[in-house]
Amino acid sequence: MIVIDASALAKFVLREEGWEELVEFLRRGTISVDHIAKEVANAVWKRGVREGLRVEDVQRMFQALREILNKNVVIEDELKYLDEALAIALKYKITVYDGLYISQAKKLGLKLLTTDF
C-alpha cells in the first residue's frame, strides 16, 4: 500500500507521459484523502477546456477516474489530517493540498507516490 496524490492519479487518468509507470502501484493498492477526487476531477475539466475536447471525451475521463477511485484507491476523510497538513504547508511553504498527502503518508507510515517535482 502507498499513499497516492492528485498529481500521480491525474497523470494516470489523463494518460500523460510516463503514466504506464503508475499501473503497478494502482494494481497493488493505494490510499489517499478524499480531496484527491476533487483535484483530479478539476484536472480532467481543465484538460477538456484547454484542449477543446468534446463533452463525451471529458465525461469518459471522469468516469475512468470514478472507476479507479472505487476499485484501486482506499479513501480517507481529509479532516483527520488537516491540522498537520496546515502545519506542514506553513513550515515548508507548500499548499495545504500537498500537505494533506504528506500528513497521511507520515501518520500511516507509508511512502508517498507523487509526480510533483
**Structural domains for the chain:** 2-113 (3.40.50.1010)
- Cα 35 to chain centroid distance, Å, stands at 8
pTM of the model: 0.94
pLDDT at 59: 97
What is the average per-residue pLDDT within 89-114? Answer: 98
Alpha-carbon distance of 112 to 106, in angstroms, equals 9
Per-residue model confidence as pLDDT tens digits over 12-63: 999 999 999 999 999 999 999 999 999 999 999 999 999 999 999 999 999 9
Grid coordinates given for 98: 500537498
Q: How far apart are CA 73 and CA 67, in angstroms?
A: 10
What pLDDT does residue 117 have?
A: 78
